[in-house]
Chains A and B, each alone.
Chain A
Amino acid sequence: MSSSAQAILTARTQNRAALVGYLPVGYPDVAGSFDALRAITEGSDGTGVDLVEIGAPYSDPVMDGLAIQHAATRALERGVRTADVFRAVEAVTATGTPAVVMTYWNLVEHYGVERYARDLASAGGSGLITPDLTPDDAEPWIAASEQHDLDRIFLIAPSSTDERIALTTRACRGWVYATAVMGVTGARQQTSSAAPDLVARIRAQSDLPVGVGLGVSNGDQAAEIGAYADAVIVGSALVKELIDNERTGSSDLSGLRAVVDDLAAGVRRAR
């Protein structure tokens, strides 16, 4: 079993959902992003996220809302490279927390699918979340991920038909990412009413662990989703802390750690 799925199943043995935290490489800059990634593995008191989702900045992120777009644009302006993604994976996995990479497909295809899989695996990465690659066009990635023992985390949306859910969960390896709402990434005030139904539809067809993301921003929302999902995925709420830091010229990560504390407590009081 891969370490990303293991992290989710370990949380399950503690009768709780795993917490997955997303941050992009290269924001506020490469070194600063490594510090922030390490900080979310720790929180304030050593209890951080269970799994890190490392974002690879891309010039045309169609699944991302304003916060992550902003971070990606800045990261690219400051010269972040694909090699930095693998360095970030090494930095995170060195803390003992497993890491997956969330990347738009062209970055992988351009690097070379087989070469990307090899370098991700040798950096200690557990797999890829691919927001704009579905199983339909994924043949090379399926082969490379099998060869290098990497997880394939495809997305399922509220609009997915049962047929698509079956096709996608069959193609996944490790776990599956359910998007709670129809839309792009970004913190939302209210949790989705579509998510519980979507998770139930996935469970009717598959035993894969199900992570739920999009729009989760605080401990109460994490607790609500953690009651029925295997993992709660949080991104924009963490990125916003870094954007606030950039605006005030601060490199103090205590605000970021506090958000992680709140979320970590949320998944622990869910059930």
Chain B
Amino acid sequence: MTEPRATHPSGAPLPDKGGHFEEFGGKFVPEALYAALAQLEDAFDAAQQDPDFAAELSRLQRDYAGRPTPITEATRFSEHCGGARMLLKREDLNHTGSHKINNVLGQALLTRRMGKRRVIAETGAGQHGVASATAAALLGLECRVYMGKVDTDRQALNVARMQMLGAEVVAVKAGSQTLKDAMNEAMRDWVTHVDDTHYLIGTVGGPHPFPRIVREFQRIISTESRAQVLEKYGQLPDAVCACIGGGSNAMGIFADFIPDEGVGLYGFEAGGDGVDTGRHAASITAGSLGVLHGARTYVLQDEDGQTVESHSISAGLDYPGVGPEHAWLARTGRATYRPITDTEAMDALMLLTRTEGILPAIESAHAVAGAQKLALELVERPEFRTKPPTILVNISGRGDKDVSTALEWFGIDGSVDRETEEVR
């Protein structure tokens, strides 16, 4: 595998050997984990040089996950986007229903390569947990998933799926009982069981080498979509849009486009009730430089550096930090990050469902909403007067898991009124 990377202004690849994206990243972890992180990095580097590893991963991606995922041109949705050409990268069509499987298959193969028999994972919406449990079932690994108690309640379907797959799901009741606390608990498990256990981190966050490894396993999203758009439309997209919590789907769809200077990169953070209210998960927009879960990045924190609880209707974006490479892309201006409120995301979720017959995950609906707003801005620009902009949007996951949240949000209870025969 080749690894085209983000580069330092000097031309050096990023991250550096210590895992730094200039001031971001690093390895802020207990010494006890150093040996495991070094082992993981060695295993990953060796795997990247090993044609058998590449062949096996590629076979699983094709025959098991269902790659390549298609690009869908959303023509009815486009009418709500000022006529911009809206192209959807359909990661929702992957086995298990999201992009998470891309990273999980790669790391599960690494786990086997390292001779470990157990994986642990953190999960917010449950998509990464389901993907991890799936890969564990496929490769015969023991699997434990840590999930905040708030999230096990709002994502009950995914909890059941993980249990069906043979994983043990631990509801974490510490702190805010969401993704960050699940990650704390997974770290504690890993410190204790590092000999036989791999911590299968689901995002481009955490200590080095995770941000790099997860980026490389998710890179396939942009490698495929860049070629697909070029082939079908004879041009690169003008903008690439993704939702961003920790940032794995966004890094996946950004990666190969980073050197394409004419392609705008847009990440949409969870704006919750609105950034002004303080109830949000917009770590880049409203956070500050800090260290969380092993990396220096933008963090939602108080005056003393205590992590502040994040809020989002989307469990998968409800995290008070962000992957260090996104922090770097934001600071250098290569990518633009904007918040999308719960309301905007839910409106977009319904719009895409009704115009295209595609029910996106609430996470992905943030990208849909952001892409729509961006499209309406871009079509006003002189350069797009004659030829509307082409916008690539990552539909990172499907929304089946979110149906009960959506019913509640829209005030639909799903029952039928006997008099009028209308669905309430």
Contacts and interface: CB of A to CB of B under 8 A. Distances in A.
Interface of A: 58-65, 69, 73, 76, 81-82, 105-107, 109-111, 131-134, 136-137, 154-161, 164, 168, 179, 182-184
B236 interface: no
Interface string B21-38: 000001111111111100
**Chain B at the A interface: SS class:** mixed
Contacts of B181: 60
B301 interface: yes
B192 A81 contact: no
Contact of B32 (A61, A82, A106, A179): A179
B184 A62 contact: yes
A173 to B, nearest CB: 16
B299 interface: yes
Given A136-B18, A160-B34, A60 B307 contact: yes
Nearest to A66: B174
Interface stretch (B100-108, B209-217, B290-298): B290-298
> How many residues of B sit at the interface, in one of the four size bands?
35 or more
Contacts of B307: 59-60, 106
Given A106-B290, A109-B290, 5 more contacts: A137-B27, A155-B30, A157-B31, A160-B34, A182-B192
Nearest to A69: B174
Contact of A159 (B36, B174, B180, B299): B36
B348 interface: no
B28 A105 contact: yes
Contacts of A59: 175, 306-307
22 contacts: A59-B306, A60-B184, A62-B293, A64-B188, A82-B305, A105-B28, A107-B304, A110-B290, A111-B304, A132-B28, A133-B28, A136-B18, A136-B27, A157-B32, A159-B35, A159-B36, A159-B194, A160-B31, A160-B34, A160-B35, A161-B35, A168-B31
A26 to B, nearest CB: 11
Nearest to B176: A59
A48 to B, nearest CB: 28
Contact of A132 (B30, B36, B301): B30
B191 interface: yes
B192 A183 contact: yes
B153 interface: no
B181 to A, nearest CB: 8
Interface in B282-327: 290-294, 296, 299, 301, 304-307
Interface-centre pick from A73, A131, A137, A161 (highest chain B CB count, 10 A):
A137
A70 B27 CA distance: 26
A65 B327 CA distance: 31
5 residue pairs, one from A and one from B, having the closest CB atoms: A110-B305, A157-B32, A183-B192, A62-B187, A106-B291
B195 interface: yes
Given A60-B180, A62-B184, A110-B290, A131 B30 contact: yes
Given A73-B174, A107-B304, A156 B290 contact: no
